[in-house]
């Protein structure tokens, strides 16, 4: 393992070792790389309990959530990419007009970018990094990974899983806080894949802009769930509650706002409150990862209450440094103008607002600076499809919420201040590779039509081609242009 702890220059050393290992790795066939990484899947599964215990110890999530949210999706990620990467990286031929460009063959290749910096948050400290590390390595890159300072042991365990599978130094680990992340962005890396808060994402974007290297940013969310009058009430209540409370609400795609149609609002709210009151602390809902996070959650709920919101279940008084526990909380709100409805809360709080119509709900859902995922709960598929098109979100789920990050073939991305990153799906390869277009010319002609010298015949060729290609020109005009083109081509062939 290639590891550094804090400070600027150790980071540079790890990056240098990764770069040194990368070229030979990229020279292997894709299939050879996939075979080297394939055992990772069983290693993840075999060490499921250890991974779950480590994550639970660092961030407090219930063991079953670690198994469902960190272990199984990670094994699926390895399975998906090792099975499909060869086909996805296959060079693709390009359509070339044989008349305009005779005897030319062009192919797009996808090359590794080089060294990929992967900077990650603490909320899914194993599954999130692996979503990028696995395809990045398979595409021929080296990776330098910086876990969150809140989850250094999960980060180290993740890297340990690769022991003996990769060339020395190819996967580097740097541990530390923001200064180490900053040093990594400033080091000799070719792309930064970042997941975290908007504030840090901005810093990463600036750092990458200074170096003119690309970055991928997956940032915060304020996801809305829209519950329509014809929804299956039981399913909607169960699903929205899970979407809000899973991982104690510390999920970028948590339900952080519910817009429910008036006619079922009371029944839905009552059902959600009943279910929320039954959630067992530590079994279904763990503590928050840090006391700082709890303080944000408590402030949002307190401010909303002061602004007229009603706490229907849960809520907690007491000082902001009152440990890490916060109970599952359901709040009825009228206004969207509070922090609880505008900023990322990242806690086990479900604010419910009543709307007059689906259109009203979409307008309010879209009036956010974030745009990660959104869900629509309805039995009307046609209406759901229309609303899905209107919602400003990178992922829209109908009658479900927020779990699709676990599907390796599905893209995960956002709008607005959620950033422009894409993880998951073949589209993620756009971040992790760069295209190289190779053109082979099999022409035996001594010269091309468009090469020197520039003559009146060449001008006539170009002019008649422009007329011929324009669908706005009449038939008569185009036939005339065709004759002029043939004449000019013959003249050109004779050296004119």
Cβ at position 89, least distance to ligand NAD in Å: 24
Cα–Cα dist 12/8, whole Å: 7
Q: CA 224, 288, 162 angle in degrees (round to 5)?
A: 95
Cβ at position 22, least distance to ligand NAD in Å: 22
Instruction: Centre a 10 Å sphere on the Cβ of residue 427 and count the other Cβ atoms it contains.
Output: 13
Which residues have a catalytic role annotated?
218, 252
Closest to ligand NAD by CB, 197 or 366: 197
Sites of contact with ligand NAD (CB under 6 A): 119-123, 128, 146, 148-149, 177-178, 181-182, 185, 195-197, 200, 203-204, 218-221, 252, 344, 372, 412, 414, 418
Cβ at position 165, least distance to ligand NAD in Å: 24
Closest to ligand NAD by CB, 186 or 462: 186
Runs of H (alpha helix) within 28-151: 30-37, 40-46, 48-59, 63-66, 72-88, 127-138
> CA distances (Å), 197 to each of 158, 194, 220, 375, 398, in order?
22, 9, 5, 22, 27
User: Is residue 482 within a helix (H) or strand (E), and if so which, with residue range?
Assistant: helix 475-493
3-state secondary structure of 445: coil
Torsion of the alpha carbons at 145, 147, 149 and 150, rounded to the nearest 10: -170
- Please report how many Cα atoms fall inside a 13 Å half-sphere around the Cα of residue 309, on the Cβ side: 29
Cβ at position 493, least distance to ligand NAD in Å: 59
Closest to ligand NAD by CB, 179 or 266: 179
Closest to ligand NAD by CB, 349 or 354: 349
Runs of H (alpha helix) within 250-395: 262-278, 291-306, 339-342, 358-366, 381-390
The answer to whether the beta carbons of residues 170 and 22 sit under 8 Å apart is: yes
Cα–Cα dist 80/98, whole Å: 38
Cβ at position 300, least distance to ligand NAD in Å: 14
| Beta strand pairing call for 310-313 and 329-333 | antiparallel
Residue nearest to ligand NAD (CB): 181
Cβ at position 182, least distance to ligand NAD in Å: 4
Closest to ligand NAD by CB, 51 or 260: 51
Cβ at position 309, least distance to ligand NAD in Å: 22
Closest to ligand NAD by CB, 140 or 287: 287
Cα–Cα dist 335/333, whole Å: 6
- Partner residues linked to 142 by β-bridges: 115
Closest to ligand NAD by CB, 2 or 293: 293
């Amino acid at each position: 393992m290639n590891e550094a702890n804090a400070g600027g220059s150790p980071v540079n050393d790890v990056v240098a070792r990764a770069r040194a290992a990368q070229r030979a790795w990229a020279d292997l066939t894709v299939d050879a790389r996939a075979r080297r990484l394939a055992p990772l899947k069983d290693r993840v599964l075999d060490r499921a309990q250890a991974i779950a215990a480590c994550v639970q110890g660092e961030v407090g999530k219930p063991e079953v959530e670690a198994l469902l949210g960190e272990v199984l999706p990670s094994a699926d990620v390895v399975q998906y990419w090792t099975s499909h990467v060869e086909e996805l990286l296959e060079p693709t031929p390009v359509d070339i007009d044989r008349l305009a460009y005779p005897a030319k063959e062009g192919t797009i290749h996808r090359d590794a970018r080089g060294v990929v910096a992967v900077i990650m948050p603490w909320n899914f400290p194993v599954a999130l990094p692996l979503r990028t590390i696995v395809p990045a390595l398979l595409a021929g890159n080296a990776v330098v990974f910086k876990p969150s300072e809140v989850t250094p042991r999960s980060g180290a365990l993740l890297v340990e899983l690769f022991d003996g599978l990769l060339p020395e130094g190819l996967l580097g680990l740097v541990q530390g806080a923001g200064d180490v992340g900053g040093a990594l962005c400033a080091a000799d890396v070719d792309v930064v894949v970042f997941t975290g808060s908007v504030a840090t994402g901005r810093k990463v974007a600036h750092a990458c802009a200074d170096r003119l290297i690309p970055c991928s940013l997956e940032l915060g969310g304020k996801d809305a769930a829209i519950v329509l009058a014809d929804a299956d009430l039981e399913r909607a209540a169960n699903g929205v509650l899970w979407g809000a409370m899973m991982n104690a609400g510390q999920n970028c795609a948590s339900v952080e706002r519910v817009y429910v149609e008036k006619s079922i609002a009371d029944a839905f709210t009552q059902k959600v409150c009943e279910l929320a009151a039954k959630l067992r602390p530590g079994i279904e809902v763990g503590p928050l990862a840090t006391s700082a996070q709890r303080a944000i959650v408590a402030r949002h709920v307190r401010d909303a209450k002061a602004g007229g919101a009603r706490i229907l279940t849960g809520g907690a008084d007491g000082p902001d440094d009152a440990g890490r526990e916060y109970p599952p909380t359901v709040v009825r709100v009228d206004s969207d103008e509070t922090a609880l409805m505008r900023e990322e809360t990242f806690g086990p709080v479900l604010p419910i607002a009543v709307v007059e119509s689906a259109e009203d709900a979409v307008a309010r859902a879209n009036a956010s600076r974030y745009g990660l995922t959104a869900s629509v709960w309805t039995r009307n598929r046609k209406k759901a499809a229309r609303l899905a098109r209107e919602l400003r979100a990178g992922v829209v789920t109908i009658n479900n919420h927020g779990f699709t990050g676990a599907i390796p073939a599905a893209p995960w991305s956002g709008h607005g201040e959620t950033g422009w990153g894409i993880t998951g799906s073949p589209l993620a390869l756009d971040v992790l590779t760069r295209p190289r277009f190779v053109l082979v010319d099999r022409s035996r002609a001594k010269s091309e039509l468009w090469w020197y010298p520039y003559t009146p015949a060449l001008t006539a060729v170009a002019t008649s081609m422009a007329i011929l290609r324009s669908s706005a020109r009449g038939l008569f005009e185009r036939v005339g242009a065709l004759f002029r083109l043939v004449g000019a081509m013959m003249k050109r062939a004779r050296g004119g």
